[in-house]
């Protein structure tokens, strides 16, 4: 069995992050483009779990391969959990994350202290060609900062403040973020299962 697993994403930064988390495991995550897949899967589920499973199962059926997929997003308490599963489309799908982050900050301009609580959520689904699916979830708790800070990471990282580090997720060194992130938590939950399946 090949130790390369297709990750149902077009986001190369996510692929790099997952490979960094799995470094030394003998597993290699490749993007859909690297696998020659150019199909878009509509994310129309009502939860992170539904979206992750749909992406993984759709690409697995198309390729006959074992496929990983994730759905992740930012939940802000002051916004009743928004943007949530709509995080990538918040403010418009083609809107840059600099603009998306500014929109979040504008929405929270009157929020203080615990009102700014937020969390990153990641659900990872692993789908086999026979339709069997494994799902793992990771959560990273924090607060929305008062401005964008940091150049590392991507997405909403520049406004996601971690009090225990005194920095935003985008200010953390990648090796630290890759140990504590919501994606790392979900993938580490999946990792032992993967290592067993792939005999690494």
pLDDT by 10s per residue, the chain, length 200: 467 899 998 888 888 888 888 888 888 889 998 888 888 898 899 999 999 999 999 999 999 999 999 999 999 999 999 999 999 999 998 999 999 999 999 999 999 999 999 999 999 999 998 999 999 999 999 999 999 999 998 899 999 999 999 999 999 998 899 899 999 899 888 988 888 887 75
Q: How far apart are CA 148 and CA 92, in angstroms?
A: 19
What was the pLDDT predicted at 200? 55
What was the pLDDT predicted at 2? 65
The answer to whether 149 touches 158, Cβ cutoff 8 Å, is yes
Host domain of residue 169: 4-197
User: For the chain, how many structural domains are there in total?
Assistant: 1
| Domain of residue 24, CATH code | 3.90.950.10
- Give the list of residues 6+ apart from residue 93 with CB closer than 8 angstroms, or none: none
Q: How far apart are CA 79 and CA 30, in angstroms?
A: 35
Q: Is 77 tagged catalytic?
A: no
The answer to whether 187 touches 136, Cβ cutoff 8 Å, is yes
Catalytic residue among 40, 44, 71, 157: 71
DSSP state of 160: E
């Amino acid at each position: 069995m090949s130790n390369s697993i297709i990750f149902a994403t077009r986001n190369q930064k996510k692929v790099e992050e997952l490979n960094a988390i799995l470094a030394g495991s003998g597993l290699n995550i490749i993007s859909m483009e690297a696998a020659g897949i150019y199909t878009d899967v509509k994310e129309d589920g009502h939860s992170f779990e539904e979206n992750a499973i749909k992406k993984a199962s759709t690409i697995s059926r198309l390729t006959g391969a074992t496929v990983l997929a994730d759905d992740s997003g930012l939940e802000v308490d002051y916004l009743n959990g928004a943007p949530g599963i709509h995080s990538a489309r918040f403010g418009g799908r083609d809107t840059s994350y600099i603009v998306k982050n500014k929109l979040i900050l504008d929405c929270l301009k009157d929020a203080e202290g615990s009102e700014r609580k937020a969390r990153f959520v990641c659900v990872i689904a692993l789908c086999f060609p026979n339709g069997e699916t494994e799902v793992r979830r990771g959560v990273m708790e924090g607060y929305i900062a008062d401005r964008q800070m940091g150049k590392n990471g991507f997405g909403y990282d520049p406004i996601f403040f971690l009090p225990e580090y005194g920095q935003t997720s985008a200010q953390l060194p990648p090796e630290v973020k890759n140990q504590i992130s919501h994606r790392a938590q979900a993938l580490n939950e999946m990792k032992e299962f993967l290592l067993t399946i792939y005999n690494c």
